[in-house]
Copies of this chain bind each other. A is one copy, B any other.
Amino acid sequence: MPRIDIPRKSIYRLSIYQRCLGKLRENDVDTVSSEALAKAAGVKPTQLRKDLAYFGQFGTRGLGYNVDVLSNTISEVLGHNRLQPVILVGVGNLGSALLRYGGFRKEGFEVVAAFDVNPKRQPDLAIPILAITEMTDFIQQNQVKMAILAVPASAAQIVTNQMVEAGIQAVLNFSPSVLDVPEHVVVNSVDLAVELENLSYFIR
C-alpha cells in the first residue's frame, strides 16, 4: 500500500469529506458531484478529485459519487471501520474536558482509560482514571496503539518515551512541546497558544 507519498493534507481532507458525506447521508442524498462536495468541504473540485484519485476511482462520469459508496471507501482508507481504543494521559483541565467530550466515539474512537500522576476519582466519568505507573501494562495488555497526551510540557517527553516503549504508535499531543519520537511513531500536535499567536499575526 503506497501510504507514503500521499500528501498528509490529503488525508486530513479525507476526514473533512467524510464528515460532509455524513451530513448528506442524514438528508438521504444519494449522489453528489465533486463540485458540490468540494464546496461543502471548503476546497476546489479538482483538489477533491485528486485526493480521491490517490486511492482509486469511486465516481461515475457524468453523474458524480454515490454518497454511501464514497463514505464507506473513505472509512476503509482511514482505517476506522472498527472502534479504535485510545488512552488519555494527563487528567488536568484540558484532559478531563477531552474525556467528557463525546465527539470521538461517533468518529470511531473509544477512550478506554485515562492516566494521571495522582489518579483522583472523577466519579461522573465512566472511564477509569489510573495511576501513570500502570500505563505500560495497560497499553501492552490491551494492545492500545493511540494516545492523547495532555500533560504539562515538563512531563511530555518523559511520558511519551514511556508510552512509545510500551507500544503506542500514534500520539495526539496537546502539550506545548516538541516531541522527539522514533521513526515509526506519528505525532500530531495541537498547540493552543501557537494557534492564537498565529491568528494574531494575521490581524493587521
Binding site for B on A (CB under 8 A): 3, 8, 11-12, 14-16, 18-20, 40-42, 77-80, 84, 86, 93-94, 96-98, 100-101, 103-104, 106-109, 145-146, 148, 169-172, 176, 178, 180, 186, 188, 190-204
Contact of A178 among B41, B79, B198 (CB under 8 A): B41
Question: Can you list 25 A-B contacts (CB < 8 A)?
Answer: A3-B202, A11-B202, A15-B193, A15-B194, A16-B194, A18-B197, A19-B176, A19-B194, A20-B178, A42-B178, A79-B200, A79-B201, A80-B197, A84-B200, A93-B97, A94-B98, A107-B196, A109-B196, A109-B200, A146-B199, A170-B200, A172-B199, A186-B202, A188-B198, A190-B192
Inter-chain CA distance A77–B197, complex, in Å, is 10
What is the total number of copies of this protein in its complex? Answer: 2
Q: Are A11 and B86 in contact (CB under 8 A)?
A: no
Q: Are B170 and A11 in contact (CB under 8 A)?
A: no
Inter-chain CA distance A86–B192, complex, in Å, is 13
Contacts A104-B193, A146-B203: A198 and B97 contacting too (C-beta < 8 A)? no
For A195, the chain B residues whose CB sits under 8 A away are 172, 188, 190
Inter-chain CA distance A170–B197, complex, in Å, is 11
Q: Which of A93, A171, A186, A193 has the most CB of B within 10 A?
A: A193
Q: Nearest Cβ distance between residue A85 and chain B, in whole angstroms?
A: 11
Inter-chain CA distance A14–B199, complex, in Å, is 12
For A79, the chain B residues whose CB sits under 8 A away are 200-201, 203
Inter-chain CA distance A147–B186, complex, in Å, is 30
Contact of A96 among B8, B97, B107, B192 (CB under 8 A): B97
Contact of A107 among B8, B15, B103, B193 (CB under 8 A): B193
For A169, the chain B residues whose CB sits under 8 A away are 202-203
